[in-house]
Amino acid sequence: LQFLRNLPKIELHAHLNGSLNIDSIRELAAKVYGVQTKEFSTLCERFIKFEKGAKLDDCFEKFGFVHELTSTKEGLEYATELVIRDFAKDNVIYVELRTTPKANGNMSRRSYLDTVLGVIKNKSDLYKIKVKLLPSINRAEPVAVAEETVALAVELATIEPEIIVGIDFSGNPNQGNFKDFIPVLSKARNHGLKLAMHCAEVDNPVEIREMIRFGMSRCGHGTYLSDSGFEHMKEENIPIECCLTSNVKSGTVANIGAHHLKQLMATCAPKVLCTDDSGVFDTTLSDEFFLATESFGLTKSQCIALTMEAVEHAFATREEKLMLKMQIYKYTRLQN
Ligand code: 5GP
């Protein structure tokens, strides 16, 4: 495990509000809101507790807890820093954070994104980590909200092209209709933004076909892809973002042994290991690698190869990819 902890890692699928771990939530509550009660601790425990047989729908209810803490500028600012800090602590050297801009009495969607961007700009060097931002479309919200999000992303990407590099399509897959979002997703793509799409997270063959036809740069989860779906992803070099703990805890795969990572490894199909929501699912990227080694017998060199593969699929520039590969290579050479 120590080798995996120290391995410089690449995180490509991390939702900001889902990535606050329990200690950071307590820290955030205490520092920004002065909350340190026993009741709050109990709420935190409940946040990461999953009953056997939990359903994907149950998971989405958990986010409300963190969303309350990040509903002010100060809360969001500190939460973003804590998430960046926690990834860096786990030796993640590059992370693509996704987050849904939210409007409330305290913030507009623009100020939400400005706040997160500000922290990324000011704190990445401090924690020695490269951070990108993918504004998220929540498919459970109206298309008009997605249109605002994409318009903001397009505008902000002209100001911070090195940080805003794509759009995430997420939210409860049992809600909303993918087809309705095609025009707005096309707009994002036509403006040069990459698309990371939650696809085949639930068994909905019609929608899966529509998504595949539309195309994407990376596929989130891909749990319910058919054999021909997996083949298509391989042919098009579209990686599946595999989130082992998330898929098991939310019940989208029956057990870890049944996870499609096994098949992806066996067929040399493109794949990346990711955390999804390291806070909610109480994991780290090192833990995910460890779980993969325990469950599928991955060797050290396969773990290094997976990390290098993640660099290839990152929404980063060629120069950035070269730097990341050098960092990984330096570490692995020291180990030999
Ligand atoms: P946020 O966008 O608030 O920073 O992160 C939490 C949000 O990300 C959730 O409310 C949900 O919309 C989305 N999300 C987090 N995990 C998942 C997941 O596993 N599947 C999907 N489809 N959406 C997710």
Residue 51, pLDDT score: 82
Query: What distances in angstroms separate CA 176 from CA 98, 142, 258, one per listed residue?
Result: 19, 8, 28
For the chain, what is the mean pLDDT? 96
Instruction: Give the ligand 1 atom nearest the CA of 250.
Output: 19
Question: pLDDT band at 54, cuts 50/70/90?
Answer: confident
Whether pLDDT at 324 is above 90:
yes
Q: Which pLDDT belongs to residue 43?
A: 87
Question: Of ligand 1's atoms, which has the minimum distance to the CA of residue 16?
Answer: 4
Q: How confident is the model at residue 335 (pLDDT cuts 50, 70, 90)?
A: confident
- For residue 246 and ligand 1, the question of a CB distance below 6 A is answered with yes
Name the residue at shortest CA distance from atom 14 of ligand 1: 171
Asked if residues 310 and 10 have their Cβ atoms less than 8 Å apart, the reply is yes
Q: What was the pLDDT predicted at 74? A: 97
pTM, full prediction = 0.98
pLDDT tens sequence across 267-310: 999 999 999 999 999 999 999 999 999 999 999 999 999 999 99
Mean pLDDT of all residues in 241-267: 97
Q: What's the whole-number mean pLDDT along residues 240-268?
A: 97
Torsion of CA 47, 49, 53, 54, to 10 degrees: 10
Q: Could you tell which of 15, 21, 119, 202 is best to mutate to test the pocket of ligand 1, judged by most ligand atoms within 8 Å of the CB?
A: 15
E strands present in 156-217 = 166-170, 194-199
Q: Is the pLDDT of residue 52 over 90?
A: no
Whether 136 lines ligand 1, by a CB cut-off of 6 Å, is yes
C-alpha distances (whole Å) from 137 to each of 39, 148, 205, 269 are 33, 10, 21, 27
Closest atom of ligand 1 to 138 CA is 12
The answer to whether the CB of 171 is under 6 A from ligand 1 is yes
Ligand 1 near 310 CB (within 6 A): no
Inform me whether the pLDDT recorded for 336 exceeds 80.
no
CA of 171 to the centre of ligand 1 (A): 5
Judged against a pLDDT cut of 90, whether residue 55 lies above it is answered with no
What pLDDT score was predicted for residue 334?
83
Per the CB < 8 A criterion, the answer to whether 117 and 82 are in contact is no
What's 183's domain CATH number? 3.20.20.140
- The residue range of the domain holding 58 is 2-335
- Of the listed ranges 62-66, 84-88, 116-120, the least confidently predicted one is 62-66
The count of domains in the chain is 1
Going by pLDDT thresholds of 50, 70 and 90, the confidence category of residue 214 is: very high
| Cα 129 to chain centroid, rounded | 16
User: What is the 299 CA–ligand 1 centroid distance (Å)?
Assistant: 31
Q: Whose CA is nearest to atom 23 of ligand 1?
A: 171
Determine the distance separating the centroid of ligand 1 and the alpha carbon of 18, expressed in angstroms: 7
Q: Which of 201, 241, 288, 320 is catalytic?
A: 201
Per residue in 143-161, pLDDT tens? 999 999 999 999 999 999 9
- Give the least confident one: 17-21, 30-34, 135-139: 30-34
Find the length of the chain.
336
Calculate how far, in angstroms, residue 314's C-alpha sits from the geometric centre of ligand 1: 20
| Whether residue 201 lies in the annotated active site | yes
Mean pLDDT confidence for 5-31: 97
The HSE-up count of residue 27 (CA atoms within 13 Å, CB side) is 14
Q: Is the CB of 201 under 6 A from ligand 1?
A: yes
* Greater pLDDT, 35 or 112: 112
Ligand 1 pocket test: pick from 59, 80, 170 the residue with the most ligand atoms within 8 Å of its Cβ.
Answer: 170
Note the pLDDT tens digit of each residue in 165-207: 999 999 999 999 999 999 999 999 999 999 999 999 999 999 9
List pLDDT tens digits, range 97-132.
999 999 999 899 999 999 999 999 999 999 999 999
Task: Provide the pLDDT for residue 78.
Answer: 98
Confidence check: pLDDT of 248 > 90: yes
Q: Which atom of ligand 1 is nearest to the CA of 63?
A: 10
Q: Is the CB of 65 under 6 A from ligand 1?
A: no
Q: What percent of the chain has pLDDT over 90?
A: 90
| Helix residue spans in 34-178 (DSSP H) | 38-47, 56-69, 73-89, 109-123, 143-159
Ligand 1 pocket mutation pick from 63, 133, 198, 278 by most atoms within 8 angstroms of CB? 63
